[in-house]
Chains A and B, each alone.
Chain A
């Protein structure tokens, strides 16, 4: 018994286990200190949680695009953040126009649907072009090649949009119908955050049903399992891949409009970079290639970012906690990868895929 234990003992495992314990203790000490200090009211925590959920649902929608493409092609489409920017940046002009003619006040539902349609179409077209021009010619190249191409495509898109629309910051006009607070469990929450959260959840469920229940979804899953066998069974691989990019693009464009409703300022050519990185983090957090994983990962990351700096870092006496928010989000990624490399929902990848 003891001999077997000694045989299997490894210093790396011990170190990781000790690290795990230390991290958990630190988190609990931080939370305990903050709660005991009682600087913040429950209403303030609720604000952070709901804003985090709204932010998280935007991450989740973008993350779905990463995860869909990874599931099919096993590549990280690092230009996906720019697909999101393209939709958000284009729709801001329509939003300004709709606001100017008064439609956004008179009929906000129609206005928002128009914005969503425009953003989704622009992002879809960009995503399809991206696949056609940047990725398809390299489909059989070594895996590093499309990754580098993605970074190049990302810059190309950023500076194309800078050239098209200029480098100034723009802002979505206020949608007055979405401003009013709604009472949720006794807390005042801006309606827009609930709308964004609800709409994102509906979209995610729709996507899940599409992939699980339709013929096209079945074909996508088949391609994801094994491209060659799927082709032998008569599945048009190119069509499936284009569809995958199109769906991911549409979701990113919709996320762009939601972002504009939730947080109207700061629309410019570089706006896709950080959300793209965060959404990628969310996809890995949930288990890349896994759709529910991307949804949960996105929502979780949004809440972690929003709540934890004040909850944990302040309790540990770390100054200017809010400035460490991005660092904190990425530290969470590292921790997840250390303790659960496959992500929250991911299955361990077979050798072929990994």
Chain B
């Protein structure tokens, strides 16, 4: 009985060797952190990790729509394989980012990720994503620490959105040079995004010669801002910069008019509040307020907006879609570049090779201007850590002014300043 089985096994072995010798040389993965192999009938699988529900859903929907358009632009195919897009909701919180990362990392078919929206999500998600050998390109993370080695940077992380080192500086320069402000106060909400952004703003504003009168914080979930606004009003600063989110931002705007001492204070927010619901939710005080944020223009962008309007109707709900579009294209281009295709259509993608290909991109022109994903040097901002994976060059930034038209439903608001 056993003897017969042994003979059968031996025959099979010999047959296998003969067949192998006759066929093409099998692909051998030499990549340092492994390969993704995609059989001829399987799709190329990319994932998004975006905040597609809850109060910050406008960010996630904005990015997701752009990813879908980028995939449509290629006819939904890459290297003869259909592109499959799956997604996880990251809820704009560290916990949400961690949960989504665990799910995505558990799926070996996923090649790369577009995400996350909120910096807190990326901070929590990246260790898991990086350990799984994945690449992640963020359309809207802006916290500086995310690309700084020795802070929260992890291999495999790239971002298309500008770091807040740019945004905070542009906002401070606008406040000092254009508004002529010499005193400013800042409020953050404890998130890495808001805290680091107000810090950059305060630093640049002081460097220009201004005075920071107050740097405070509110809790996420606070509804009564009068206490903190009264603290701000004690020094009657000319500018109040609060780069936070909804609904805390609208609470500050709405309650600011009640506080004595804030009559001559100009309110300034950042891209976290750059959503079409913000002016309406904040009410009449929003008129005359400024928001810093991504600003994209040009014929290619108009073309993109036309596609958006045709596919989803209306305009994108936030300001990061162009970054998501560029990020998706960079990822798909890089996959195309590093993939090895067998004769039968099987695709092999080296994970380290994919990382290197994106990091090697130095002169990519996208909707958001020139992108350079190689290492950066931020010593001009007083930062000595090496920076990796920052693709934006700071070209696509602007300051928006909110007027009565925005309260009545106009979106996006007019741009009054670009660096």
Mark A residues whose CB is within 8 Å of B: 39-41, 43-44, 47-48, 51, 55, 167-171, 174, 188, 190, 263-266, 268, 274, 305-306, 309-310, 314, 320-323, 325-326
Which of these, B217, B227, B228, B282, contacts A265 with CB under 8 Å?
B282
B260/A44 in contact, CB under 8 A: yes
Whole-angstrom distance between the alpha carbons of A55 and B234 in the complex?
22
B251/A263 in contact, CB under 8 A: yes
A190/B254 in contact, CB under 8 A: no
Whole-angstrom distance between the alpha carbons of A157 and B261 in the complex?
42
Whole-angstrom distance between the alpha carbons of A188 and B277 in the complex?
30
Interface string of B148-183 (1 = CB under 8 A from A): 000000000000000000000000000000000000
Interface presence of B283 (CB below 8 A): yes
Given contacts A44-B234, A263-B254, 5 further A-B contacts (CB under 8 A): A44-B230, A169-B277, A265-B223, A265-B247, A325-B227
Known: A167-B55, A169-B277, A265-B247. A321 touches B258 (CB 8 A): no
Interface presence of B62 (CB below 8 A): no
Which of these, B55, B222, B234, B247, contacts A39 with CB under 8 Å?
B234
Interface presence of B57 (CB below 8 A): yes
Interface presence of B382 (CB below 8 A): no
Whole-angstrom distance between the alpha carbons of A170 and B233 in the complex?
28
Q: List 20 A-B contacts (CB under 8 A).
A: A40-B233, A40-B234, A41-B261, A44-B233, A44-B234, A48-B226, A48-B227, A167-B55, A167-B57, A168-B277, A169-B55, A169-B277, A174-B283, A265-B281, A305-B224, A306-B226, A310-B231, A322-B218, A322-B228, A323-B219
A-B interface contact total, Cβ < 8 Å:
101
Q: Which residues of B contact A314 (CB under 8 A)?
A: 231
Q: Which residues of B contact A169 (CB under 8 A)?
A: 55, 246-247, 250, 277, 281
Q: Which residues of A contact B280 (CB under 8 A)?
A: 171
B219/A171 in contact, CB under 8 A: no
Known: A306-B224, A322-B216. A47 touches B247 (CB 8 A): no
B226/A323 in contact, CB under 8 A: no
Whole-angstrom distance between the alpha carbons of A321 and B219 in the complex?
11
Lowest 10 CB-CB distances: which A-B pairs, in order? A322-B227, A266-B247, A322-B228, A43-B260, A171-B281, A265-B250, A39-B234, A169-B247, A167-B54, A51-B226
Whole-angstrom distance between the alpha carbons of A12 and B206 in the complex?
54
CB proximity to A under 8 Å, residues B210-224: 216-219, 221-224
Whole-angstrom distance between the alpha carbons of A234 and B218 in the complex?
55
CB proximity to A under 8 Å, residues B231-289: 231, 233-234, 246-247, 250-251, 254-255, 258-261, 277, 280-284
Q: Which residues of A contact B224 (CB under 8 A)?
A: 51, 55, 263, 305-306, 325
Interface presence of B53 (CB below 8 A): yes
Whole-angstrom distance between the alpha carbons of A332 and B283 in the complex?
34
Q: Which residues of A contact B251 (CB under 8 A)?
A: 263, 265-266
A174/B284 in contact, CB under 8 A: yes
Q: Which residues of A contact B217 (CB under 8 A)?
A: 320, 323
Instruction: Tell me how far the C-beta of B329 lies from the nearest C-beta in chain A, rounded to whole angstroms.
Output: 30
A322/B55 in contact, CB under 8 A: no
Whole-angstrom distance between the alpha carbons of A265 and B225 in the complex?
12
Measured CB to CB, the nearest residue on chain B to A174 is B283
B53/A264 in contact, CB under 8 A: no
Instruction: Tell me how far the C-beta of B261 lies from the nearest C-beta in chain A, rounded to whole angstroms.
Output: 6
B259/A321 in contact, CB under 8 A: no
Whole-angstrom distance between the alpha carbons of A143 and B277 in the complex?
45
Q: Which residues of A contact B234 (CB under 8 A)?
A: 39-40, 44
Measured CB to CB, the nearest residue on chain B to A39 is B234
Instruction: Tell me how far the C-beta of A114 lies from the nearest C-beta in chain B, rounded to whole angstroms.
Output: 21
Q: Which residues of A contact B250 (CB under 8 A)?
A: 169, 171, 265-266
Known: A47-B259, A266-B250. A171 touches B226 (CB 8 A): no
Known: A169-B55, A310-B231. A264 touches B283 (CB 8 A): yes
Instruction: Tell me how far the C-beta of A186 lies from the nearest C-beta in chain B, rounded to whole angstroms.
Output: 12
Q: Which residues of A contact B226 (CB under 8 A)?
A: 47-48, 51, 306
Whole-angstrom distance between the alpha carbons of A209 and B255 in the complex?
35
Known: A47-B260, A171-B281, A265-B281. A40 touches B230 (CB 8 A): yes
Instruction: Tell me how far the C-beta of A36 lies from the nearest C-beta in chain B, rounded to whole angstroms.
Output: 14
A264/B259 in contact, CB under 8 A: no
Q: Which residues of B contact A41 (CB under 8 A)?
A: 260-261
Interface string of B295-310 (1 = CB under 8 A from A): 0000000000000000
Measured CB to CB, the nearest residue on chain B to A313 is B227
Instruction: Tell me how far the C-beta of A97 lies from the nearest C-beta in chain B, rounded to whole angstroms.
Output: 15
Whole-angstrom distance between the alpha carbons of A263 and B281 in the complex?
11
Whole-angstrom distance between the alpha carbons of A51 and B222 in the complex?
15
Q: Which residues of B contact A305 (CB under 8 A)?
A: 224
Q: Which residues of A contact B228 (CB under 8 A)?
A: 322
Q: Which residues of B contact A167 (CB under 8 A)?
A: 53-55, 57
Instruction: Tell me how far the C-beta of A277 lies from the nearest C-beta in chain B, rounded to whole angstroms.
Output: 12
A266/B261 in contact, CB under 8 A: no
Measured CB to CB, the nearest residue on chain A to B233 is A44
Whole-angstrom distance between the alpha carbons of A266 and B254 in the complex?
11
Measured CB to CB, the nearest residue on chain B to A170 is B281
Most buried by B among A43, A171, A190, A310: A171
Whole-angstrom distance between the alpha carbons of A55 and B258 in the complex?
14
Measured CB to CB, the nearest residue on chain A to B253 is A265
Whole-angstrom distance between the alpha carbons of A44 and B235 in the complex?
12
Q: Which residues of B contact A266 (CB under 8 A)?
A: 223, 247, 250-251
Q: Which residues of B contact A190 (CB under 8 A)?
A: 258
